[in-house]
Structure 1
Amino acid sequence: MARIENHKYSIEEAFRECFYIVPDYQREYVWTDKEVNQLLEDINEQIGNGHVREYFIGTILVSPTSQKNHYEVIDGQQRLTTFFLLLCALKHMFRGETQQQTISGLISTSYTDNSGETRTNLKLEPRYENAGEVIAKLVELDANPQAVRAGIQAAGIPSFGSLENLVSAYSTIYRYLKDNYDDTSTLKKYWGYLANNVVFIQISTDVSSALKIFETINERGVGLNPMDLLKNLLFTQVPQAQFTQLKDEWKKITSPLEKEKEKPLRFLRYFLMANYVIDNDRSDAVVREDEIYDWFVNKDNAALCDYRNKPFEFVRKIIRNVDSYISFGNGLGNDGKPNIPMDSLKRLAGGAFSLHYVLLLAAAPLPKPLFDHFVAQLESFLFYYIFTKTPTKDLERNFSLWADELRIIAGKSDPAEQRAALNAFVTNRFQSNMEAKSQELSDALKRLTLHTMQQYRTRYLLARLTQHVEMAFNGIKSPGSLGSFAGLEIEHILPNTPTAELSNQWAADNSQALYDDYKNRLGNLTLLEKPINIVAGNDFYSEKRPEYCKSGNYLTRSLVELTKVGQNSSVSRINEKLKAFPVWNAISIDDRHDMLIKLAKDVWRTAPLES
């Protein structure tokens, strides 16, 4: 059994006797002003109480290296790094005082290495991306925060993420000391308490044992989120010689999520529900964020993931899902290329809805034609749920269970069987639910105004309707990009800001209809090119009609007149679903509103994938 040593250190003892190395596989410095200030306030409160009791800040978990008194930090680096920055600030503020020399020895010192050479090292050495350069430059400059920041920038050292956190933490500490200990006598009192009375227990053992202790300490996520805990869990499965390799692979998970500002825990939830059968005591097939780590360490789930026997294969599976997750969020297909169905789905979902990623991740292995078809059907299904404002919790369980079905479909090797299974899925899961919500959708759309739904979704609705009519008018079967339609302006046919004359005329002709009510109804909205919209302005409908005739989209032109082109032509067929309006009043707006609702049922529907 590995030897475990415990030692109680004060801050001065720890930094005098130990060299701390933060290995590159550990979590980077993530503390913000909030956590730094809280630590400083806690210490300040102890001093203010007027007693000299020890202030215990918890345990620090380390693993000794081959070099005497050098330790890799397994748990506690946020606190140790903050105290190191505190020492740096104190050293600068004690300039000219004897304390400066003492503290300087706690920041860096010389030692004799195994080959007998004398070396000078910092007492804290972070080895993750550029952090060592930031810390070394900060110590070298020995200056106020403004000068430190300028010096780091002048040296060309990157400043982002955790590196920016280090510089910000130094600034926070420096300001705090200036605000609360603005003369030498009070600063000495502060230093005396910090050096001798702030203590922690240092637990030292080999790396493997330390990682297992770390897991036990944090098994309920105390201080760490499930992504950090999962990372540590995986490190316990590989020999130390593979730590750097695993760290590099792990970066392929976290870096893309950070770059796109995606929430790691949301991704992990969707990853689990998309890739595994979820069995829990609630029988709802859902994993909540606070349950993620517990799910991973469950014996049955660990066997399901097989990360203990094949940690690198498991990590690469997560990487593939991250790549797909990011691609889908950017409107790309399962081949990572621009994708018309996915772009349209993105315009509907926006940033407010993301649960559908569970289904997309599960369906990602499908061949591209099947995947694209699935995305188009999913868009229709989600339109019903989003525009009826159905709570997401009603979908969570279904999506998790449906993902299980999609994985089976994606795993089929026979193309005809796979296509038939996908068509059956769309019929049984999407179409049946849409039929059940058909009346609810009609009622929701009847109540729809410009302000009852996010404007980007109202624009999406109008764009899809306009595109559908344009395709029907030209006899086109497959939709192109929605971008050209979504870029048009939303036109109030009954002007948004009418003239007094127009308002009075409306009131006289529509005594039972409030102008401000009708102007924002769906039936009163259309899409129009900006130059035409400018000319149309806030005029009467009779004056706008000639401008509408100039529009490039038929849904807007048809307000004025339906184009006559033969019998049973693509134009005549779409004309059966449209209507021209010689006058524009409350009845016209109601009629057009009903017309658009019926048209919506044609746009957002499911269809089988033909062979």
Structure 2
Amino acid sequence: MDITSETRTIDQLVPISGSDSYFIPLYQRNYSWKNEQIDQLFADIRYEDENYYVGNLLVVPHEQQGKNIPDAYDVIDGQQRLTTVSLFLLAIWQRAQEISNDENTSRDDIMKTGTIQSDIKRRLIFNNSDDALEPRLHLLEEDDTVYRSLLRVLNRNEPGRTGRTAFAKRYGYIRKLFGADAFPTIGELDKFYEKLLKVTILRIHVPDVTDAFNVFSSMNSKGLPLTLVDLLKAEFISDAGEYLDRKAEETTNQWIALSETLSRDGEPDTGITTQFLLNNWDAFESEDNRSITKSSALKLYRSRIRQYYSEKRSDYLSILQERAGIYAQILCLPEHEHHDQTIAKRLKALVQLESTQSYPLLMELLGDPGLELEDTLPQILDYLIAFYVRRNITLVPKSSNIRARIIRLTRELKQHKYTGIAALNLIRNGEGDIQGLNAISVDDNVLRTTLCTQGIYDKNKATTRFVLIDLERRLPGEGIVSKARPDTFDDFVKNSTKQRRWSIEHILPEGNLPDTWNNAISPDNPDQAKEIQAECVHLIGNLTLTPYNSELGQRTFDEKKRYKDPTSSDITGLAMPLKINVSIPDVENGETLESKTTWTADDIKRRSAWFADQIAQLYSLN
């Protein structure tokens, strides 16, 4: 990678003479600095020492019709600073004009304003033609229209209409910074102008956008990060225009549609889109058994896009749109849930279990109709749920090992088109020298031992919640859910999208224990209660479910058992008829929930063993 870097002043970056020009690529965002960031740069320039360093400017050669343009650069990082500096220069020009128009300004000062204005004009534009005004800085379309309208003043014309765009508002704020109160004389204004010209920036030049992405990813940038998503958007726009003669607007709308598919709450999510691109490659594009990385993704996708478009094959962006719909089903994104509720329910479970390593396999399973999995897909998803429950409880195997195995199985499934039950058997047990997931999962003995000796809540709260609710729903017998009382375990508190109605309750409380609990769990030696608490508090046997507003906290066991919701008088304590609460009393020794008055370490360990049996059975891998 041929990287050159050089410290440049603003005077050198936007010189009076010379043809240096800067272009903001289509994949970048519009000008996004707020008043606070503008204030900070303004204050730094005004009050810091001369030659103040303001950051990096990462650029690549600017191309037109496939050829590099001399002294023209695409700005990969630093566009916000560069744009703000340009607006500062324009505001200085306008303030100088105000001073020049003041009847009290001396002849010498008028001459000085003329010199400043002449300099700034040559720094901001290349020619004097009103009809062909050519800025040194080319912004994105919406911002560029406003910017060119503002620059009309440099030719002594009234600025064009700018509307109420965000860019126009930011410039209005900048104009106030350079008002008469801050710069009453041309001397004060000239002093700021000279300091601005001496501000230094490290301009980093790399050969192409792929290298720029790698450099950018390793830099500590204060601005909004440039992403794989931004760069691929630009690649689609560029190649569709070059090979398919497609307008940028049409391709941009296609990309927007893809982004909207991969969005939460109507807002495009760059993180989700990035993960989709990585999983799409691993599922459908790669023949390698290794997972794609972010640093290699841009180069690989650029090659694939150009291959599709140069050979005039089917529209690759349309293919990605279709696959994005599959990925949205896997994530259960709003308005994209799977049409079959038996499948949607299982996919939600896998999301809760944070099964991200399995997504290439799920994309293949859902995206390849030739696998004929209509009847078998629920069984495969149930198997994956069981695998991830065991994995999240024991932390075996490592995430990287799961991903490697998943990709190998995906390749085999795709290449040999295992259908129906054969696909399930491949994923479970493997085929030939290809091992299935069973080979890297834990057996029942390890699972039981882990549940009885190690905390689950402190390892993975999401899995703990999933397991407790899933057991409550699937265990035999009568529970709290009935025709008169619907299942609300997945509901949120009213007017909230984050706070769950049901929460996990530690029967033996967390935190500093009151004397009542110290005496209850260690009556012979209350000083040892803290050690017992540390050993047992996060074991699954100490956990249950309770409505969010129960506020059981550090109440005694008996108070927790009898607690009622003060707003409804409903029992929301341990005496609720939950199936998982049946195991709280030692039934084999004649205890009932009504008669039980204490809660000890032995109770927690006994109940953990009960949970271990239920979990090993319900999440069997066979």
What is the TM-score normalised by the length of structure 1?
A: 0.66
Deviates more, 1:354-363 or 1:424-433: 424-433
1:229/1:600 CA distance change after superposition, 3 Å: same
Identify which of 559, 573, 576 aligns with 1:551: 576
1:425/1:394 CA distance change after superposition, 3 Å: closer
2:619 partner amino acid:
W
Secondary structure of 1:387's counterpart equals helix
Equivalence for 2:91: 92
User: 1:446-465, CA deviations, whole angstroms, 9 ceiling, x for partnerless residues?
Assistant: 23336522433322222222
Matches within 5 A, 1:342-491: 342-349=347-354, 354-365=356-367, 370-390=376-396, 391-408=398-415, 417-428=419-430, 432-433=438-439, 436-449=442-455, 452-469=458-475, 483=490, 487-491=501-505
1:242 to 2:241 alignment: no
Kindly indicate whether the alpha-carbon contact (under 8 Å) linking 1:387 and 1:445 is maintained by their aligned counterparts in 2: yes
Q: Distance in 2 between matches of 1:534 and 1:220?
A: 50
Secondary structure of 1:605's counterpart equals coil
1:598 partner amino acid:
D
User: 1:394-420, CA deviations, whole angstroms, 9 ceiling, x for partnerless residues?
Assistant: 2221122122234357x67xxxx4344
Secondary structure of 2:367's counterpart equals coil
Q: Distance in 2 between matches of 1:544 and 1:276?
A: 56
1:101 to 2:103 alignment: no
Equivalence for 1:260: 269
How far apart are residue 604 of structure 1 and its match? 1.8
How far apart are residue 599 of structure 1 and its match? 0.8
Q: Distance in 2 between matches of 1:370 and 1:376?
A: 10
How far apart are residue 326 of structure 1 and its match? 3.5
User: 1:165-191, CA deviations, whole angstroms, 9 ceiling, x for partnerless residues?
Assistant: x959x97xx79xx99x99434334345
How far apart are residue 431 of structure 1 and its match? 5.9
1:213/1:261 CA distance change after superposition, 3 Å: closer
Equivalence for 2:326: 324
1:131 to 2:143 alignment: yes
Deviates more, 1:385-394 or 1:443-452: 443-452
Aligned positions, number: 523
Equivalence for 1:523: 541
Equivalence for 1:587: 602
Equivalence for 1:569: none
Structure 1 gap segments, 5+ residues each: 1-8, 50-54, 143-150, 203-211, 563-574
Equivalence for 1:340: 345
Kindly indicate whether the alpha-carbon contact (under 8 Å) linking 2:521 and 2:599 is maintained by their aligned counterparts in 1: no
Structure 2 gap segments, 5+ residues each: 1-11, 101-112, 155-160, 218-225, 493-499, 564-570
Kindly indicate whether the alpha-carbon contact (under 8 Å) linking 1:226 and 1:293 is maintained by their aligned counterparts in 2: yes
Q: Distance in 2 between matches of 1:590 and 1:201?
A: 62
User: 1:21-55, CA deviations, whole angstroms, 9 ceiling, x for partnerless residues?
Assistant: 757x44335898999999x999x999649xxxxx9
Q: Distance in 2 between matches of 1:219 and 1:435?
A: 38
1:287 to 2:292 alignment: yes
Kindly indicate whether the alpha-carbon contact (under 8 Å) linking 2:394 and 2:447 is maintained by their aligned counterparts in 1: yes
Equivalence for 2:157: none
Kindly indicate whether the alpha-carbon contact (under 8 Å) linking 1:60 and 1:200 is maintained by their aligned counterparts in 2: no
How far apart are residue 218 of structure 1 and its match? 5.0
**RMSD in angstroms over aligned alpha carbons?**
5.6
How far apart are residue 587 of structure 1 and its match? 1.9
